[in-house]
Amino acid sequence: MECPHLGSSVCIAPDSAKFPQGSPSSWCCSVCRSNKSPWVCLTCSSVHCGRYVNGHAKKHYEDAQIPMTNKKTEKQEKVQHTVCMDCSSYSTYCYRCDDFVVNDTKLGLVQKVREHLQNLENSAFTSDRHRKRKLLENSSLNSKLLKVNGSTTALCATGLRNLGNTCFMNAILQSLSNIQQFCCYFKELPAVELRNGKTAGRRTYHTRSQGDNNVSLVEEFRKTLCALWQGSQTAFSPESLFYVVWKIMPNFRGYQQQDAHEFMRYLLDHLHLELQGGFNGVSRSVILQENSNLSASNKCCINGASTVVTAIFGGILQNEVNCLICGTESRKFDPFLDLSLDIPSQFRNKRTKSQESGPMCTLRDCLRSFTDLEELDETELYMCHKCKKKQKSTKKFWIQKLPKVLCLHLKRFHWTAYLRNKVDTYVEFPLRGLDMKCYLLEPENSGPESCLYDLVAVVVHHGSGVGSGHYTAYAAHEGRWFHFNDSTVTLTDEETVGKAKAYILFYVERQAKPGAEKL
C-alpha cells in the first residue's frame, strides 16, 4: 500500500555506525536479545523482534506514541517510530497503516536503507564464509550435523525467507518439496532457455510496473524446489515465484495473511493447467511418458487431460444420494485433489492432547464423519427426478480410487455470524500406517499394502484466526523430521510432530515390498 507516514517516520540515513555489527538477519532484539525476526526502526535505527516472537517492535511503536496524547506537544511533535524494516526480507511495514509499504520518500531513503542492509548482509556473509568452512571441516559440526547410523551427516535443508506474511506459501512449498515423486518430477523438467542478446544470463528483477504476462508458474516452482535441498545455509528468497503468484492469482496479491489450504489448491490447479498446455516447448504427454512411475492407471483427470498433479494427488469419490420418499438412488463420481474433513462437534472443546475431559479426537473420527451416512437438512433438499420435486434425502461418500499422496485438510475455520472462528481442537493422527481400506467403495479389490499411508508432511496454523497468526510445517526427509519456520529450519522428532495441531496432512502411499506375498 502507499503509506502517507514515510516523510515523518523515515529519518535515518544509511550509516553503518548507527546499526549493530554483524549481518542484519541475525541482529538481536534490544529488549529480549532474540535474533529471530529482527526489525529495525527507520526513525531511530533501534532493533526489536517481530510480533510472532515477543512483539517488541510493535511495543516500541506504541511506547513512542504515548507523548502524543499531550495536547501541549501535539502540534510540535511529529508522529515517528511508525515505520520499520524486516532485516531478513527488507520489506517495510507501517504500524499506523497496519500494512506493508510499497512506496518511498521523495529522497528514496527507504531504498537506500534497504540497499545498505543488503550490503551489510553480503559483507558479513563474505567475512563469515571462511570461518564456516573451517567449522564444516571440523569433526564437531555442532547443531548443523546429525549422527545417522554411526556416520555424521550435514543438515541439508534450506529455509524460505518471509517476504511479508508469506508464511502460508512457505509452509506449503516446504511440504510439497518433501513429497519425493512430486518434487523430483519438477526438478527433472528442462529449464527455460537463457535469453539471447544483451540480457543473456542476467537475472530478471520483477516489479509490478513491468506488466509482463509471459510468466511461468511451473518454471519458478521448479527453481524453488531445486534451491531447497542444495545444502545452502542461507535462506532462499522465493520472490520470483511470489511475483508469478501475484500475476496469475489475484486473490493472493498484497502482503496480508492468507489461508494456506486455499493457496495450495490454487497452486496445484494452476500448475495442472499450465502443464496441460506443455512446458518450455516440451509436450506434457511426452514428459509424463518419460516418467515411468506415473502409469496411465494411476492418473485421474480433473479439468481435462491428466498431469503429474492429478497423477499423484488425484483420487475419485462416489457421491451417493438416496431419496427418502421414493427410494431413488443417484450416484455421481467426483475427482478430488484433497479431502476437507470436519472436526466432529463433540470434540471441539478439547484443545490439547493432555486434557482428560472426554475422549480424544482422532483422524479416524474425522474420516468417519466425512464418509458416514448423513441426512440432508431442509436447506439442502435433493431434487428427485422421479418425484419431480425437492425431497428429503440421505448422502454418503465412498472413495472409489485412492491417490498416491493423500492430502487431508482439517476444517479449522468456520463462519459464525460475521466472524470466522478457529476450531483449536487437537486431532490425534498416525505418523505411519494410516489404513484407508474401510473407506473404499470396493475394498476387496485392493491389495494389503495399497491402502496404507505414511505421513510425510504437516502444515500447522498458530494463532486464533485465518487472517492472522503464523504457519509452519513439519516434514520428513530421508528418515529425519524437520521443522520449517520460514528461514529457520531445525531438526525435530516424531513425538514433537505428533503433538502438533495439524491443519493439512500429507500422507504418501506405502509401497509394497518387492517379492512380498499377497494375503
Which residues are the active-site residues?
167, 470
Grid look-up 524494516 returns 85
- Which spans in 409-467 are helix H? none
Q: How far is the C-alpha of 495 from the C-alpha of 474, rounded, in Å?
A: 12
> Whose CA is closest to 441, among 311, 313, 318, 308?
318
Q: How far is the C-alpha of 400 from the C-alpha of 334, rounded, in Å?
A: 9
Q: How far is the C-alpha of 388 from the C-alpha of 71, rounded, in Å?
A: 73
Helix 167-177 crosses helix 260-276 at what angle (to 10 degrees)? 60
Rg (CA), the chain: 26
Q: How far is the C-alpha of 430 from the C-alpha of 447, rounded, in Å?
A: 21
Q: What angle do CA 511, 515, 518 make, to 5 degrees?
A: 75
Q: How far is the C-alpha of 5 from the C-alpha of 94, rounded, in Å?
A: 8
Residue 318 vs residues 330, 382, 486: alpha-carbon distances, Å: 10, 16, 38
Q: How far is the C-alpha of 487 from the C-alpha of 158, rounded, in Å?
A: 8
Q: Give the phi and the psi of residue 183 in degrees, each rounded to 5.
A: -65, -45
Structure letter (DSSP) for residue 378:
G
Beta bridge partners of 133: none
Q: How far is the C-alpha of 318 from the C-alpha of 331, rounded, in Å?
A: 7
Grid look-up 535469453 returns 195
- Enumerate residues 6+ apart whose C-beta is below 8 A from 154: 136, 141, 144, 145, 231
Residue at 128: amino acid letter: D
Q: How far is the C-alpha of 407 from the C-alpha of 318, rounded, in Å?
A: 17
Q: How far is the C-alpha of 33 from the C-alpha of 99, rounded, in Å?
A: 25
The three three-digit cell numbers of residue 238, written as one number? 522465493
Structure letter (DSSP) for residue 120:
H
Within 10 Å of residue 293's Cβ, how many Cβ atoms? 12
Q: How far is the C-alpha of 307 from the C-alpha of 380, rounded, in Å?
A: 34
SS3 call for 337:
coil
- Which spans in 65-215 are helix H? 71-74, 109-137, 167-177, 180-187
The three three-digit cell numbers of residue 99, written as one number? 500494512
Sign of CA dihedral 85, 86, 91, 97: negative
Q: How far is CA 22 from the centre of its chain?
A: 30
